[in-house]
Structure 1
């Protein structure tokens, strides 16, 4: 069996004994039915991986011994900040999971004029927590040892107005340039992906005023979740570590 990878939110040190967090302990003890003497691979967001052994496991708690550590850098040289206007249902979860597998570093959920998601503050806070858990699970699966941040949701205008170095990109069906024509080198990209109904004319004008460059993805109209993953893949191929 493949050695399970488990995220631990506190800094790990070789030689220490720790108890896994509740969700992780449930997965190891109840779902995988692992017991004392079996191996785990832990990571804490420091870009290190830790070899560990289960010392004790029962229905409620799992205690492990941290045996050794090594640097395991799987991060892309391209820093990607995705501003994703929130989509309905499982589409947002899918976008978060797959974009993290593709190397996105930061994700900010956005509200726009045509955003179809309406949540009160309490439900939105729960969604952010849920999306952060999805980010952790994606890292456990794909081998990343730094967990991307899912930021608090904000308006499109506020996000576009934030000051951040690097290239700012927005998709537009009548743009004159594509990803392949963007000049090299690029180390940081702030990528805006609009809602299912697209950005309004006023919003597109606003992004231009805030320094976003319009790019053309191709001749076909893609769904919002397809668009995000396609653009991220193309950016990683051109500026990052894919291909």
Structure 2
């Protein structure tokens, strides 16, 4: 697979497209690519083209030669509803969720979250996470971007309509994933914070129609639980 770059511009076979500054920097300065080397561009909406690096009036560009029809998207649409985690745990969660096929990551604020975001920090952190999602898509071959939504409280998210099933990981409760029927549409998978869900939150989730599910008798860390569940769901009903 040639180096892949997210390029949110119309991609048309036969055109020579000047590369956005960030893509040009990555290709030329980071990867040390030279004119004539193969690359791939994808727009994040499902379109991808192969081509080669070239120049137009001294500006790095790509000559697009072939469309790539394969989207590499999983047949199961999972939104990871992840309680905010501290340090670089959220970076890890976003990156691996993209690799495992999640279509979106929705950060939520839970009672026992240690990380609190407010003001300018919110926008900066979401932009950071979205860039991590872009890099993960470039690496793993996806040509549709996983959306990273703005954080919101768990209560507010539970009140927001979701077109699909809502499942919540609750240690010691619920049905094992292996014993569940395949979902008939999109799934929102809720993962608690480092300190776990409170009883009040579990009650609110149940009232909102969230189905408790289990990953077995062991209690997993917040940065492990969602990724383990994603992998298991893809093995059971996805494309693994």
TM value normalised by structure 1: 0.93
Match of 2:125 in 1: 127
Deviation, structure 1 residue 63: 1.6
Q: Secondary structure at the match of 2:50?
A: strand
Match of 1:22 in 2: 21
Alignment partners' CA distance in 1, 2:179 and 2:103: 24
Deviation, structure 1 residue 185: 4.6
**Could you list the per-position Cα deviations for residues 171-202 of structure 1 after superposition, in whole angstroms to 9, with x for gaps in the alignment?**
11232411112123533211001100011111
Q: Secondary structure at the match of 1:71?
A: coil
1:70-109 alignment to 2 at 5 Å? 70-109=68-107
Distance of aligned partners of 1:180 and 1:74 in 2 relative to their CA distance in 1, 3 Å threshold: same
Alignment partners' CA distance in 2, 1:240 and 1:180: 13
Q: Do the aligned residues in 2 keep the contact of 1:115 with 1:195 (CA within 8 Å)?
A: yes
Q: Secondary structure at the match of 1:164?
A: coil
Of the three residues 109, 112, 128, the one matched with 1:111 is 109
Q: Secondary structure at the match of 2:122?
A: helix
Q: Do the aligned residues in 2 keep the contact of 1:195 with 1:224 (CA within 8 Å)?
A: yes
Match of 1:169 in 2: 167
Deviation, structure 1 residue 101: 0.4
Alignment partners' CA distance in 1, 2:183 and 2:129: 32
Distance of aligned partners of 1:19 and 1:81 in 2 relative to their CA distance in 1, 3 Å threshold: same
Match of 2:39 in 1: 40
Alignment partners' CA distance in 1, 2:112 and 2:174: 25
Alignment partners' CA distance in 1, 2:128 and 2:21: 15
1:56 aligns with 2:55: yes
TM value normalised by structure 2: 0.94
Match of 2:154 in 1: 156
Aligned length: 240
Q: CA RMSD in A?
A: 1.7
Instruction: Give unmatched runs, 5+ long, in structure 2.
Output: none
Q: Secondary structure at the match of 2:219?
A: coil
Instruction: Give unmatched runs, 5+ long, in structure 1.
Output: none
Deviation, structure 1 residue 126: 0.7
Q: Secondary structure at the match of 2:74?
A: coil
Deviation, structure 1 residue 57: 8.4
Alignment partners' CA distance in 1, 2:170 and 2:56: 54
1:130-149 alignment to 2 at 5 Å? 130-149=128-147
Deviation, structure 1 residue 162: 1.7
